[in-house]
């Protein structure tokens, strides 16, 4: 096995393992390890001359980037979940 194959297998397995963790603190690292495997995956696709596999590599990268957005970059409310509270008189405007 070459270094790129080992990196793809190891980082990919760790990313999948972390994505199934019970704690959000562990799950949020899945996208980071998945993104770390992407350069090796793109190199392997390029090196073996598999242009059709590039589409799948790009889809995996987009999926890991979505995780990066959800767990690391997305703006969040300052304190917990933001809610809208309406006063009782707003239910029956007269």
Task: Map out the domains of the chain as residue ranges.
Answer: 3-73
Quick one: average pLDDT of 53-66? 95
So what's the pLDDT on residue 42?
95
Using CA atoms, how far apart are residues 54 and 71, in angstroms rounded to an integer? Answer: 26
pTM: 0.75
Quick one: average pLDDT of 48-59? 91
Percent of the chain surpassing pLDDT 90? 70
Q: How confident is the model at residue 72 (pLDDT cuts 50, 70, 90)?
A: very high
Q: How confident is the model at residue 74 (pLDDT cuts 50, 70, 90)?
A: confident
Single out the residue of 31, 41, 33 nearest to residue 69, CA to CA.
31
So what's the pLDDT on residue 44?
93
């Amino acid at each position: 096995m070459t270094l790129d194959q080992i990196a793809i297998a190891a980082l990919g397995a760790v990313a999948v393992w972390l994505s199934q963790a019970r704690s959000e603190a562990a799950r949020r690292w899945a996208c980071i390890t998945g993104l770390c495997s992407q350069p090796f995956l793109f190199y392997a696709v390029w090196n073996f001359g598999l242009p059709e596999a590039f589409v799948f590599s790009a889809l995996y990268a987009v999926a890991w980037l979505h995780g990066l957005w959800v767990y690391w970059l997305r703006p969040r409310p300052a304190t917990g979940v933001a809610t809208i509270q309406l006063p009782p008189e707003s239910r029956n405007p007269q």
